[in-house]
Structure 1
Protein backbone atom coordinates (compact mmCIF):
# COMPACT_ATOMS: atom_id res chain seq x y z
CA UNK A 1 0.00 0.00 0.00
CA UNK A 2 1.22 3.51 -0.90
CA UNK A 3 -0.21 6.85 0.19
CA UNK A 4 -1.17 9.27 -2.58
CA UNK A 5 -2.60 12.76 -2.76
CA UNK A 6 -3.15 15.60 -5.23
CA UNK A 7 -0.10 17.87 -5.55
CA UNK A 8 -1.51 21.01 -3.92
CA UNK A 9 -3.17 22.33 -0.75
CA UNK A 10 -1.65 20.18 2.06
CA UNK A 11 0.17 17.53 0.03
CA UNK A 12 3.63 18.33 1.44
CA UNK A 13 2.41 17.68 4.96
CA UNK A 14 0.45 14.54 4.03
CA UNK A 15 3.36 12.97 2.15
CA UNK A 16 5.94 13.93 4.80
CA UNK A 17 3.73 12.37 7.48
CA UNK A 18 3.32 9.22 5.40
CA UNK A 19 7.08 8.87 4.94
CA UNK A 20 7.60 9.38 8.68
CA UNK A 21 5.33 6.35 9.19
CA UNK A 22 7.27 4.24 6.68
CA UNK A 23 4.94 4.43 3.65
CA UNK A 24 5.99 5.02 0.06
CA UNK A 25 4.32 8.12 -1.34
CA UNK A 26 2.74 9.36 -4.57
CA UNK A 27 1.93 12.90 -5.68
CA UNK A 28 -0.17 13.48 -8.79
CA UNK A 29 -1.24 16.65 -10.54
CA UNK A 30 0.15 19.36 -12.81
CA UNK A 31 3.60 18.57 -14.25
CA UNK A 32 4.88 22.01 -13.21
CA UNK A 33 4.49 20.98 -9.54
CA UNK A 34 6.77 17.94 -9.82
CA UNK A 35 10.02 19.62 -8.65
CA UNK A 36 8.29 20.92 -5.54
CA UNK A 37 7.50 17.39 -4.32
CA UNK A 38 10.50 15.50 -5.67
CA UNK A 39 13.43 17.96 -5.54
CA UNK A 40 12.82 21.07 -3.44
CA UNK A 41 10.91 19.11 -0.80
CA UNK A 42 11.59 15.41 -1.56
CA UNK A 43 8.45 13.91 -0.02
CA UNK A 44 7.10 12.02 -3.07
CA UNK A 45 8.61 8.71 -4.16
CA UNK A 46 6.50 8.84 -7.34
CA UNK A 47 5.05 11.77 -9.28
CA UNK A 48 2.32 11.18 -11.89
CA UNK A 49 1.05 13.89 -14.20
CA UNK A 50 -2.73 14.31 -14.44
CA UNK A 51 -5.60 15.41 -12.24
CA UNK A 52 -6.59 11.83 -11.46
CA UNK A 53 -4.45 9.10 -13.14
CA UNK A 54 -6.64 6.22 -11.97
CA UNK A 55 -4.90 3.41 -13.87
CA UNK A 56 -1.43 4.28 -12.50
CA UNK A 57 -2.74 4.75 -8.96
CA UNK A 58 -4.43 1.33 -9.05
CA UNK A 59 -1.24 -0.29 -10.35
CA UNK A 60 0.74 1.28 -7.49
CA UNK A 61 -1.83 0.08 -4.91
CA UNK A 62 -2.44 3.64 -3.78
CA UNK A 63 -4.78 4.96 -1.11
CA UNK A 64 -5.88 8.53 -1.89
CA UNK A 65 -6.02 11.15 0.87
CA UNK A 66 -8.55 13.84 -0.15
CA UNK A 67 -7.80 17.55 0.13
CA UNK A 68 -9.78 20.66 -0.73
CA UNK A 69 -7.91 21.02 -4.03
CA UNK A 70 -8.57 17.41 -5.02
CA UNK A 71 -12.30 17.69 -4.38
CA UNK A 72 -12.50 21.09 -6.11
CA UNK A 73 -10.69 19.85 -9.24
CA UNK A 74 -12.50 16.52 -9.60
CA UNK A 75 -15.94 17.39 -8.26
CA UNK A 76 -18.06 15.42 -5.81
CA UNK A 77 -19.57 13.08 -8.44
CA UNK A 78 -16.23 11.96 -9.90
CA UNK A 79 -14.78 11.42 -6.41
CA UNK A 80 -17.82 9.30 -5.61
CA UNK A 81 -17.15 7.08 -8.65
CA UNK A 82 -13.38 6.73 -8.31
CA UNK A 83 -12.08 3.16 -8.02
CA UNK A 84 -8.89 3.93 -6.08
CA UNK A 85 -9.38 3.37 -2.32
CA UNK A 86 -10.23 6.64 -0.58
CA UNK A 87 -9.54 7.50 3.05
CA UNK A 88 -12.75 8.76 4.63
CA UNK A 89 -16.48 8.62 4.03
CA UNK A 90 -17.36 9.84 0.52
CA UNK A 91 -20.96 10.42 1.57
CA UNK A 92 -19.74 13.33 3.71
CA UNK A 93 -18.70 15.28 0.59
CA UNK A 94 -22.33 15.70 -0.50
CA UNK A 95 -23.21 17.22 2.87
CA UNK A 96 -20.14 19.46 2.90
CA UNK A 97 -20.55 20.81 -0.66
CA UNK A 98 -24.29 21.59 -0.41
CA UNK A 99 -24.76 24.48 2.02
CA UNK A 100 -28.37 23.55 2.81
CA UNK A 101 -27.35 19.98 3.77
CA UNK A 102 -24.32 21.35 5.61
CA UNK A 103 -26.57 23.60 7.68
CA UNK A 104 -28.88 20.68 8.51
CA UNK A 105 -25.83 18.77 9.76
CA UNK A 106 -24.52 21.63 11.91
CA UNK A 107 -27.97 22.35 13.30
CA UNK A 108 -28.29 18.70 14.33
CA UNK A 109 -24.94 19.11 16.11
CA UNK A 110 -26.53 21.98 18.07
CA UNK A 111 -23.90 24.51 17.03
CA UNK A 112 -24.51 28.26 17.12
CA UNK A 113 -24.90 29.26 13.46
CA UNK A 114 -25.35 32.61 11.69
CA UNK A 115 -28.75 33.46 10.26
CA UNK A 116 -29.18 32.52 6.58
CA UNK A 117 -31.18 34.74 4.21
CA UNK A 118 -33.14 32.89 1.52
CA UNK A 119 -34.25 36.16 -0.09
CA UNK A 120 -31.64 38.92 -0.57
CA UNK A 121 -34.44 41.48 -0.46
CA UNK A 122 -34.81 40.63 3.25
CA UNK A 123 -31.23 41.65 4.13
CA UNK A 124 -31.47 43.97 7.14
CA UNK A 125 -27.85 44.08 8.30
CA UNK A 126 -24.32 43.07 7.29
CA UNK A 127 -24.10 39.73 5.44
CA UNK A 128 -21.35 37.68 3.80
CA UNK A 129 -22.17 36.02 0.48
CA UNK A 130 -20.46 32.70 -0.37
CA UNK A 131 -20.55 30.49 -3.47
CA UNK A 132 -20.98 26.75 -2.88
CA UNK A 133 -17.97 24.45 -2.78
CA UNK A 134 -14.35 24.63 -1.56
CA UNK A 135 -12.97 27.75 -3.26
CA UNK A 136 -10.59 29.05 -0.59
CA UNK A 137 -12.66 32.17 0.03
CA UNK A 138 -12.65 33.23 -3.63
CA UNK A 139 -15.73 35.18 -4.63
CA UNK A 140 -16.94 35.94 -1.10
CA UNK A 141 -18.21 39.47 -0.57
CA UNK A 142 -19.94 41.62 2.05
CA UNK A 143 -23.26 43.41 1.59
CA UNK A 144 -25.31 45.63 3.87
CA UNK A 145 -28.64 45.94 2.05
CA UNK A 146 -30.64 44.40 -0.81
CA UNK A 147 -29.40 47.11 -3.19
CA UNK A 148 -25.79 46.58 -2.14
CA UNK A 149 -26.21 42.82 -2.65
CA UNK A 150 -27.54 43.06 -6.20
CA UNK A 151 -24.85 45.57 -7.21
CA UNK A 152 -22.09 43.18 -6.07
CA UNK A 153 -23.68 39.80 -6.88
CA UNK A 154 -23.04 40.06 -10.60
CA UNK A 155 -19.36 39.17 -9.99
CA UNK A 156 -20.60 35.66 -9.09
CA UNK A 157 -22.90 35.47 -12.09
CA UNK A 158 -25.96 36.13 -9.92
CA UNK A 159 -28.30 38.36 -11.91
CA UNK A 160 -31.72 37.27 -10.66
CA UNK A 161 -33.30 35.04 -8.02
CA UNK A 162 -32.98 31.94 -10.23
CA UNK A 163 -29.20 32.13 -9.70
CA UNK A 164 -29.43 32.12 -5.89
CA UNK A 165 -29.18 28.31 -5.76
CA UNK A 166 -25.40 28.61 -6.23
CA UNK A 167 -24.74 30.87 -3.24
CA UNK A 168 -25.53 31.28 0.43
CA UNK A 169 -26.21 34.61 2.15
CA UNK A 170 -25.10 34.50 5.80
CA UNK A 171 -25.39 36.97 8.64
CA UNK A 172 -21.95 38.52 9.16
CA UNK A 173 -21.03 37.79 12.78
CA UNK A 174 -18.40 40.12 14.18
CA UNK A 175 -15.67 38.19 15.95
CA UNK A 176 -12.16 36.75 15.82
CA UNK A 177 -11.77 33.99 13.18
CA UNK A 178 -10.94 30.63 14.78
CA UNK A 179 -10.39 27.40 12.81
CA UNK A 180 -9.91 24.32 15.04
CA UNK A 181 -8.51 21.23 13.31
CA UNK A 182 -9.77 17.87 14.53
CA UNK A 183 -8.98 14.25 13.88
CA UNK A 184 -11.54 11.57 14.62
CA UNK A 185 -10.15 8.04 14.87
CA UNK A 186 -12.74 5.55 13.69
CA UNK A 187 -10.51 2.72 14.89
CA UNK A 188 -10.22 4.05 18.45
CA UNK A 189 -13.51 6.01 18.47
CA UNK A 190 -11.69 9.07 19.81
CA UNK A 191 -11.67 12.76 18.88
CA UNK A 192 -8.37 14.65 18.93
CA UNK A 193 -7.78 18.41 18.73
CA UNK A 194 -4.76 18.68 16.44
CA UNK A 195 -4.19 22.43 16.02
CA UNK A 196 -5.90 25.81 15.47
CA UNK A 197 -5.28 28.55 12.90
CA UNK A 198 -6.70 31.72 11.46
CA UNK A 199 -6.54 32.66 7.79
CA UNK A 200 -4.67 35.48 6.09
CA UNK A 201 -6.99 36.72 3.35
CA UNK A 202 -6.63 39.04 0.41
CA UNK A 203 -7.72 41.68 0.14
CA UNK A 204 -9.65 41.69 3.44
CA UNK A 205 -6.46 41.81 5.52
CA UNK A 206 -4.69 44.18 3.14
CA UNK A 207 -7.48 46.79 3.30
CA UNK A 208 -6.82 47.21 7.03
CA UNK A 209 -3.46 48.84 6.17
CA UNK A 210 -5.22 51.67 4.31
CA UNK A 211 -6.70 54.59 6.33
CA UNK A 212 -10.52 54.53 6.47
CA UNK A 213 -10.95 57.79 4.52
CA UNK A 214 -8.78 56.50 1.69
CA UNK A 215 -10.70 53.20 1.65
CA UNK A 216 -13.89 55.18 1.04
CA UNK A 217 -12.26 57.38 -1.60
CA UNK A 218 -10.89 54.33 -3.44
CA UNK A 219 -14.25 52.49 -3.27
CA UNK A 220 -12.52 49.20 -2.53
CA UNK A 221 -14.41 45.89 -2.65
CA UNK A 222 -13.56 43.36 0.05
CA UNK A 223 -12.58 39.84 -1.00
CA UNK A 224 -11.57 36.81 1.08
CA UNK A 225 -9.21 34.76 -1.07
CA UNK A 226 -7.00 32.78 1.31
CA UNK A 227 -3.26 33.51 0.89
CA UNK A 228 -1.89 31.71 3.95
CA UNK A 229 -2.53 30.59 7.51
CA UNK A 230 -1.44 31.85 10.91
CA UNK A 231 -1.05 29.55 13.97
CA UNK A 232 -3.36 30.30 16.88
CA UNK A 233 -3.33 29.15 20.50
CA UNK A 234 -6.72 29.58 22.14
CA UNK A 235 -7.39 30.58 25.74
CA UNK A 236 -7.35 27.35 27.72
CA UNK A 237 -10.76 28.08 29.26
CA UNK A 238 -12.28 28.03 25.75
CA UNK A 239 -10.90 24.64 24.68
CA UNK A 240 -13.83 22.60 26.00
CA UNK A 241 -16.21 24.70 23.84
CA UNK A 242 -14.17 23.68 20.79
CA UNK A 243 -13.85 20.02 21.78
CA UNK A 244 -17.56 19.60 22.61
CA UNK A 245 -18.50 21.22 19.28
CA UNK A 246 -16.31 18.64 17.50
CA UNK A 247 -17.82 15.75 19.48
CA UNK A 248 -21.37 16.81 18.58
CA UNK A 249 -20.41 17.21 14.92
CA UNK A 250 -19.09 13.63 14.79
CA UNK A 251 -22.17 12.27 16.55
CA UNK A 252 -24.52 14.08 14.14
CA UNK A 253 -22.54 12.71 11.17
CA UNK A 254 -22.96 9.14 12.44
CA UNK A 255 -26.73 9.63 12.51
CA UNK A 256 -27.03 11.46 9.18
CA UNK A 257 -24.47 9.91 6.81
CA UNK A 258 -22.80 6.93 8.40
CA UNK A 259 -19.99 8.78 10.11
CA UNK A 260 -17.19 11.31 9.78
CA UNK A 261 -13.65 10.08 10.36
CA UNK A 262 -10.18 11.43 9.78
CA UNK A 263 -9.44 15.17 9.74
CA UNK A 264 -12.01 17.95 9.66
CA UNK A 265 -12.31 21.62 10.61
CA UNK A 266 -15.09 23.77 12.05
CA UNK A 267 -14.74 27.28 10.67
CA UNK A 268 -16.07 30.07 12.81
CA UNK A 269 -15.51 33.10 14.99
CA UNK A 270 -15.41 33.87 18.70
CA UNK A 271 -17.57 36.86 19.61
CA UNK A 272 -16.83 39.38 22.36
CA UNK A 273 -19.23 37.35 24.54
CA UNK A 274 -16.90 34.33 24.11
CA UNK A 275 -19.44 32.47 22.01
CA UNK A 276 -18.14 30.17 19.26
CA UNK A 277 -20.22 30.76 16.13
CA UNK A 278 -19.66 28.21 13.33
CA UNK A 279 -20.30 29.24 9.74
CA UNK A 280 -19.17 26.08 7.93
CA UNK A 281 -17.34 22.75 8.09
CA UNK A 282 -14.50 21.37 5.99
CA UNK A 283 -14.85 17.60 6.23
CA UNK A 284 -11.25 16.77 5.25
CA UNK A 285 -7.75 18.08 5.97
CA UNK A 286 -7.56 21.87 5.67
CA UNK A 287 -4.59 24.00 4.62
CA UNK A 288 -4.69 25.63 8.05
CA UNK A 289 -2.90 22.54 9.37
CA UNK A 290 0.19 23.38 7.26
CA UNK A 291 1.95 25.56 9.88
CA UNK A 292 2.10 22.47 12.08
CA UNK A 293 4.27 20.07 10.04
CA UNK A 294 6.30 19.51 13.24
CA UNK A 295 3.19 19.35 15.42
CA UNK A 296 1.29 21.94 17.46
CA UNK A 297 1.05 22.71 21.19
CA UNK A 298 -2.02 20.46 21.27
CA UNK A 299 -0.45 17.49 19.47
CA UNK A 300 2.64 17.82 21.68
CA UNK A 301 0.42 17.53 24.76
CA UNK A 302 -0.89 14.21 23.45
CA UNK A 303 2.16 12.68 21.72
CA UNK A 304 5.86 12.52 22.59
CA UNK A 305 6.88 13.04 18.97
CA UNK A 306 6.08 15.52 16.18
CA UNK A 307 2.60 14.68 14.85
CA UNK A 308 1.04 16.79 12.11
CA UNK A 309 -2.46 16.10 10.85
CA UNK A 310 -0.84 14.52 7.79
CA UNK A 311 1.18 12.16 9.97
CA UNK A 312 -1.89 11.39 12.10
CA UNK A 313 -3.67 10.15 8.95
CA UNK A 314 -0.72 7.86 8.19
CA UNK A 315 -0.70 6.62 11.80
CA UNK A 316 -4.35 5.64 11.47
CA UNK A 317 -3.69 3.82 8.19
CA UNK A 318 -0.69 2.04 9.74
CA UNK A 319 -2.89 0.87 12.65
CA UNK A 320 -5.64 -0.26 10.27
CA UNK A 321 -3.09 -2.19 8.21
CA UNK A 322 -1.59 -3.92 11.25
CA UNK A 323 -5.01 -4.79 12.70
CA UNK A 324 -6.40 -5.90 9.31
CA UNK A 325 -9.13 -3.20 9.50
CA UNK A 326 -8.49 -1.15 6.33
CA UNK A 327 -12.03 -1.87 5.17
CA UNK A 328 -13.34 0.19 8.09
CA UNK A 329 -11.61 3.41 7.06
CA UNK A 330 -11.43 3.20 3.24
CA UNK A 331 -14.30 3.72 0.78
Structure 2
Protein backbone atom coordinates (compact mmCIF):
# COMPACT_ATOMS: atom_id res chain seq x y z
CA UNK A 1 0.00 0.00 0.00
CA UNK A 2 2.76 2.42 1.03
CA UNK A 3 4.90 1.62 -2.03
CA UNK A 4 1.87 2.15 -4.25
CA UNK A 5 1.29 5.62 -2.76
CA UNK A 6 4.93 6.54 -3.28
CA UNK A 7 4.80 5.37 -6.89
CA UNK A 8 1.64 7.38 -7.58
CA UNK A 9 3.15 10.48 -5.97
CA UNK A 10 6.27 10.18 -8.15
CA UNK A 11 4.08 9.95 -11.25
CA UNK A 12 2.41 13.22 -10.20
CA UNK A 13 5.80 14.79 -9.49
CA UNK A 14 6.90 14.03 -13.05
CA UNK A 15 4.55 16.73 -14.33
CA UNK A 16 6.82 19.33 -12.68
CA UNK A 17 10.42 20.30 -13.40
CA UNK A 18 12.78 21.35 -10.65
CA UNK A 19 14.95 24.25 -11.88
CA UNK A 20 18.12 25.62 -10.31
CA UNK A 21 21.06 27.90 -11.16
CA UNK A 22 24.13 25.88 -12.23
CA UNK A 23 26.31 26.60 -9.22
CA UNK A 24 26.49 26.03 -5.46
CA UNK A 25 24.29 23.03 -4.50
CA UNK A 26 22.71 22.47 -7.94
CA UNK A 27 23.78 18.82 -8.13
CA UNK A 28 22.43 18.10 -4.64
CA UNK A 29 19.11 19.66 -5.65
CA UNK A 30 18.93 17.67 -8.89
CA UNK A 31 19.86 14.39 -7.23
CA UNK A 32 17.16 14.82 -4.62
CA UNK A 33 14.62 15.90 -7.24
CA UNK A 34 15.31 12.82 -9.38
CA UNK A 35 14.98 10.57 -6.34
CA UNK A 36 11.51 12.02 -5.79
CA UNK A 37 10.45 11.53 -9.41
CA UNK A 38 10.81 15.11 -10.68
CA UNK A 39 12.32 16.20 -13.97
CA UNK A 40 15.32 18.51 -13.56
CA UNK A 41 16.66 21.58 -15.35
CA UNK A 42 19.85 23.52 -14.65
CA UNK A 43 20.34 27.10 -15.88
CA UNK A 44 23.94 27.47 -17.09
CA UNK A 45 26.31 30.02 -18.57
CA UNK A 46 28.34 29.10 -21.66
CA UNK A 47 31.73 27.83 -20.53
CA UNK A 48 30.39 26.78 -17.13
CA UNK A 49 28.10 24.07 -18.40
CA UNK A 50 30.05 20.81 -18.71
CA UNK A 51 29.36 19.62 -15.17
CA UNK A 52 25.63 19.69 -15.90
CA UNK A 53 25.45 19.25 -19.69
CA UNK A 54 27.96 16.38 -19.89
CA UNK A 55 29.30 14.85 -16.70
CA UNK A 56 26.04 14.62 -14.73
CA UNK A 57 23.63 14.50 -17.66
CA UNK A 58 20.81 12.00 -17.07
CA UNK A 59 21.33 8.77 -18.98
CA UNK A 60 19.30 5.62 -19.29
CA UNK A 61 20.36 2.25 -17.85
CA UNK A 62 23.40 0.53 -19.35
CA UNK A 63 24.36 -3.14 -19.40
CA UNK A 64 26.31 -2.68 -16.17
CA UNK A 65 24.20 -0.20 -14.21
CA UNK A 66 20.87 1.51 -13.81
CA UNK A 67 20.13 5.11 -14.84
CA UNK A 68 22.98 7.54 -14.15
CA UNK A 69 23.24 11.31 -13.83
CA UNK A 70 20.65 13.69 -12.45
CA UNK A 71 20.37 16.63 -14.89
CA UNK A 72 17.67 16.13 -17.52
CA UNK A 73 18.08 19.44 -19.32
CA UNK A 74 20.24 22.56 -19.35
CA UNK A 75 19.02 26.02 -20.29
CA UNK A 76 21.71 28.41 -21.52
CA UNK A 77 21.89 32.09 -20.57
CA UNK A 78 24.54 34.74 -21.32
CA UNK A 79 24.61 35.73 -17.65
CA UNK A 80 22.86 34.15 -14.68
CA UNK A 81 21.06 37.45 -14.09
CA UNK A 82 19.16 36.76 -17.34
CA UNK A 83 16.99 34.36 -15.36
CA UNK A 84 14.92 37.46 -14.56
CA UNK A 85 14.23 38.14 -18.25
CA UNK A 86 10.77 37.51 -19.69
CA UNK A 87 12.27 35.21 -22.34
CA UNK A 88 13.92 32.86 -19.85
CA UNK A 89 10.97 32.92 -17.47
CA UNK A 90 8.68 31.93 -20.34
CA UNK A 91 10.94 28.93 -21.01
CA UNK A 92 10.69 27.93 -17.37
CA UNK A 93 6.91 28.33 -17.39
CA UNK A 94 6.62 26.07 -20.47
CA UNK A 95 8.34 23.33 -18.49
CA UNK A 96 6.14 23.83 -15.42
CA UNK A 97 9.17 24.68 -13.30
CA UNK A 98 9.49 25.04 -9.56
CA UNK A 99 12.64 27.04 -8.83
CA UNK A 100 14.99 26.16 -5.97
CA UNK A 101 16.98 29.23 -4.83
CA UNK A 102 20.44 28.94 -3.32
CA UNK A 103 23.14 31.43 -2.36
CA UNK A 104 24.59 31.70 -5.89
CA UNK A 105 21.17 32.72 -7.20
CA UNK A 106 21.17 35.68 -4.82
CA UNK A 107 24.81 36.56 -5.53
CA UNK A 108 24.65 36.47 -9.34
CA UNK A 109 21.29 38.23 -9.62
CA UNK A 110 22.39 40.69 -6.92
CA UNK A 111 19.02 42.43 -6.79
CA UNK A 112 16.56 41.37 -4.10
CA UNK A 113 13.96 43.89 -5.25
CA UNK A 114 13.97 42.34 -8.74
CA UNK A 115 13.77 38.81 -7.31
CA UNK A 116 10.75 39.80 -5.24
CA UNK A 117 8.94 41.85 -7.91
CA UNK A 118 9.99 40.48 -11.30
CA UNK A 119 10.72 36.79 -10.81
CA UNK A 120 7.36 35.10 -11.44
CA UNK A 121 8.40 31.43 -11.32
CA UNK A 122 7.12 29.47 -8.29
CA UNK A 123 9.88 29.20 -5.69
CA UNK A 124 10.27 26.48 -3.06
CA UNK A 125 10.25 28.56 0.09
CA UNK A 126 9.64 32.26 0.60
CA UNK A 127 11.53 34.58 -1.77
CA UNK A 128 10.88 37.51 0.54
CA UNK A 129 13.11 35.88 3.16
CA UNK A 130 16.17 35.62 0.91
CA UNK A 131 17.40 39.12 1.71
CA UNK A 132 17.47 38.29 5.42
CA UNK A 133 20.72 36.40 4.76
CA UNK A 134 22.44 39.76 4.40
CA UNK A 135 23.64 41.05 7.74
CA UNK A 136 23.47 44.59 6.39
CA UNK A 137 19.69 44.37 5.91
CA UNK A 138 17.53 46.28 8.38
CA UNK A 139 15.66 43.06 9.18
CA UNK A 140 17.99 40.09 8.93
CA UNK A 141 18.53 36.54 10.12
CA UNK A 142 19.15 37.62 13.72
CA UNK A 143 15.71 39.21 13.91
CA UNK A 144 14.19 35.94 12.70
CA UNK A 145 16.17 33.92 15.25
CA UNK A 146 15.19 36.32 18.04
CA UNK A 147 11.51 36.21 17.13
CA UNK A 148 11.63 32.40 16.99
CA UNK A 149 13.25 32.25 20.42
CA UNK A 150 16.40 30.60 19.06
CA UNK A 151 19.66 31.43 20.80
CA UNK A 152 22.54 32.90 18.81
CA UNK A 153 26.05 34.14 19.73
CA UNK A 154 26.48 37.43 21.58
CA UNK A 155 26.97 40.34 19.17
CA UNK A 156 29.50 43.13 19.74
CA UNK A 157 28.58 46.44 18.11
CA UNK A 158 31.99 48.07 18.50
CA UNK A 159 35.53 46.64 18.37
CA UNK A 160 36.39 48.41 21.64
CA UNK A 161 33.74 46.29 23.38
CA UNK A 162 35.46 42.99 22.54
CA UNK A 163 36.31 41.26 25.82
CA UNK A 164 36.37 37.61 24.77
CA UNK A 165 37.11 35.47 21.73
CA UNK A 166 35.08 36.67 18.73
CA UNK A 167 34.88 35.83 15.06
CA UNK A 168 34.84 38.71 12.56
CA UNK A 169 33.29 38.29 9.11
CA UNK A 170 34.15 40.69 6.28
CA UNK A 171 33.61 40.39 2.49
CA UNK A 172 36.72 39.29 0.61
CA UNK A 173 38.27 41.98 -1.59
CA UNK A 174 38.55 39.74 -4.67
CA UNK A 175 35.23 37.94 -4.19
CA UNK A 176 32.81 40.19 -2.36
CA UNK A 177 30.20 37.42 -2.18
CA UNK A 178 32.60 35.33 -0.05
CA UNK A 179 33.52 36.23 3.50
CA UNK A 180 36.95 36.45 5.08
CA UNK A 181 37.11 35.33 8.70
CA UNK A 182 39.49 36.27 11.46
CA UNK A 183 39.60 35.72 15.20
CA UNK A 184 40.20 38.38 17.87
CA UNK A 185 39.98 38.49 21.66
CA UNK A 186 40.46 42.22 22.33
CA UNK A 187 40.37 45.60 20.61
CA UNK A 188 44.14 45.46 20.08
CA UNK A 189 44.09 42.01 18.49
CA UNK A 190 41.16 43.12 16.33
CA UNK A 191 43.20 46.07 15.04
CA UNK A 192 46.25 43.90 14.43
CA UNK A 193 44.39 41.14 12.56
CA UNK A 194 42.27 43.51 10.46
CA UNK A 195 45.24 45.71 9.51
CA UNK A 196 47.21 42.61 8.49
CA UNK A 197 44.42 41.43 6.18
CA UNK A 198 44.09 44.91 4.67
CA UNK A 199 47.86 45.05 3.97
CA UNK A 200 47.72 41.58 2.41
CA UNK A 201 44.94 42.76 0.10
CA UNK A 202 42.42 40.23 1.39
CA UNK A 203 39.89 42.78 2.68
CA UNK A 204 39.39 46.54 2.37
CA UNK A 205 39.15 49.18 5.06
CA UNK A 206 35.89 50.39 3.52
CA UNK A 207 34.25 46.95 3.76
CA UNK A 208 35.45 46.60 7.33
CA UNK A 209 33.85 49.94 8.24
CA UNK A 210 30.60 49.10 6.44
CA UNK A 211 30.39 45.76 8.22
CA UNK A 212 31.06 47.52 11.48
CA UNK A 213 27.72 49.27 11.09
CA UNK A 214 25.92 45.97 10.51
CA UNK A 215 24.82 43.61 13.21
CA UNK A 216 26.39 40.20 13.46
CA UNK A 217 29.90 41.04 12.29
CA UNK A 218 31.64 40.60 15.60
CA UNK A 219 30.07 37.64 17.33
CA UNK A 220 31.21 35.62 20.29
CA UNK A 221 33.27 32.69 19.06
CA UNK A 222 31.75 29.30 19.77
CA UNK A 223 33.60 26.04 19.17
CA UNK A 224 31.92 24.30 16.26
CA UNK A 225 31.80 20.99 14.48
CA UNK A 226 33.94 20.29 11.44
CA UNK A 227 30.84 19.33 9.47
CA UNK A 228 27.21 20.44 9.60
CA UNK A 229 24.16 18.30 8.95
CA UNK A 230 21.48 20.43 7.32
CA UNK A 231 17.84 19.58 6.84
CA UNK A 232 14.30 20.85 7.00
CA UNK A 233 10.87 20.06 8.32
CA UNK A 234 9.08 19.21 5.10
CA UNK A 235 5.46 20.08 4.22
CA UNK A 236 4.65 16.46 5.09
CA UNK A 237 5.80 17.24 8.66
CA UNK A 238 8.77 14.90 8.41
CA UNK A 239 12.33 15.91 9.26
CA UNK A 240 14.52 15.41 6.21
CA UNK A 241 18.33 15.38 6.03
CA UNK A 242 19.36 17.47 3.01
CA UNK A 243 23.14 17.45 3.06
CA UNK A 244 26.34 17.31 5.08
CA UNK A 245 28.67 20.26 4.47
CA UNK A 246 32.20 21.12 5.59
CA UNK A 247 32.41 24.03 8.01
CA UNK A 248 34.81 26.77 6.85
CA UNK A 249 34.78 28.55 10.21
CA UNK A 250 37.86 27.72 12.35
CA UNK A 251 37.20 25.05 14.95
CA UNK A 252 39.06 24.48 18.23
CA UNK A 253 41.76 22.41 16.52
CA UNK A 254 42.41 25.24 14.04
CA UNK A 255 42.73 27.78 16.86
CA UNK A 256 45.26 25.61 18.70
CA UNK A 257 47.28 25.18 15.51
CA UNK A 258 47.17 28.92 14.84
CA UNK A 259 48.50 29.59 18.35
CA UNK A 260 51.30 27.06 17.86
CA UNK A 261 52.27 28.55 14.49
CA UNK A 262 52.31 32.11 15.85
CA UNK A 263 53.95 31.72 19.21
CA UNK A 264 55.92 28.48 19.35
CA UNK A 265 57.86 28.61 16.07
User: Smaller-chain TM-score range?
Assistant: 0.5 to 0.7
Gap change, CA 1:20 and 1:214, over 3 Å in 2: closer
Shift of 1:184: 2.8
Shift of 1:123: 0.5
In structure 1, the residue matched to 2:168 is 129
**Matched residues in 2 for 1:124 and 1:33: separation?**
46
**Matched residues in 2 for 1:112 and 1:202: separation?**
19
In structure 2, the residue matched to 1:107 is 146
CA contact 1:128–1:171 (8 Å) conserved in 2: yes
Q: Deviations over 1:222-244 (max 9, x none)?
A: xxxxxxxxxxxxxxxxxxxxxxx
- Of Structure 1 and Structure 2, which has the larger fraction of its residues in strand? 1
Shift of 1:170: 0.1
Shift of 1:214: 3.6
Gap change, CA 1:119 and 1:5, over 3 Å in 2: same
- Secondary structure of the structure 2 residue equivalent to 1:33: coil
- Within 5 Å, give how 1:250-265 maps onto structure 2: none
**Matched residues in 2 for 1:193 and 1:47: separation?**
29
Q: Does 1:179 align with 2:228?
A: yes
User: Structure 2: which 5+ runs fail to align?
Assistant: 1-15, 58-70
Greater length-normalized contact order (CA 8 Å, ≥ 6 residues apart): 1
Gap change, CA 1:197 and 1:125, over 3 Å in 2: same
In structure 2, the residue matched to 1:80 is 116
Shift of 1:45: 1.4
CA contact 1:9–1:69 (8 Å) conserved in 2: yes
Shift of 1:212: 5.3
In structure 1, the residue matched to 2:91 is 59
Shift of 1:148: 2.1
> How many positions carry a matched residue from both structures?
215
**Matched residues in 1 for 2:158 and 2:121: separation?**
41
**Matched residues in 2 for 1:144 and 1:211: separation?**
14
**Matched residues in 1 for 2:40 and 2:211: separation?**
42
In structure 2, the residue matched to 1:273 is none
Shift of 1:7: 0.5
**Matched residues in 2 for 1:208 and 1:19: separation?**
41
Bigger Cα Rg: 2
Shift of 1:2: 2.3
**Matched residues in 2 for 1:200 and 1:47: separation?**
31
Shift of 1:171: 0.5
Shift of 1:93: 1.5
CA contact 1:117–1:170 (8 Å) conserved in 2: yes
**Matched residues in 2 for 1:2 and 1:195: separation?**
19
In structure 1, the residue matched to 2:49 is 34
Shift of 1:74: 1.5
User: Structure 1: which 5+ runs fail to align?
Assistant: 219-331
- Secondary structure of the structure 1 residue equivalent to 2:164: coil
Q: Deviations over 1:121-173 (max 9, x none)?
A: 110111101248xx886312111211222333345434575651256110012
**Matched residues in 2 for 1:40 and 1:214: separation?**
41
In structure 2, the residue matched to 1:201 is 248
Shift of 1:106: 1.0
CA contact 2:52–2:74 (8 Å) conserved in 1: no
CA contact 1:34–1:47 (8 Å) conserved in 2: no
Gap change, CA 1:142 and 1:95, over 3 Å in 2: same
Q: TM-score scaled to structure 1, two decimals?
A: 0.55
In structure 2, the residue matched to 1:95 is 132
Question: What is the aligned-residue RMSD (CA, Å)?
Answer: 3.4
Gap change, CA 1:130 and 1:64, over 3 Å in 2: same
**Matched residues in 1 for 2:38 and 2:222: separation?**
43
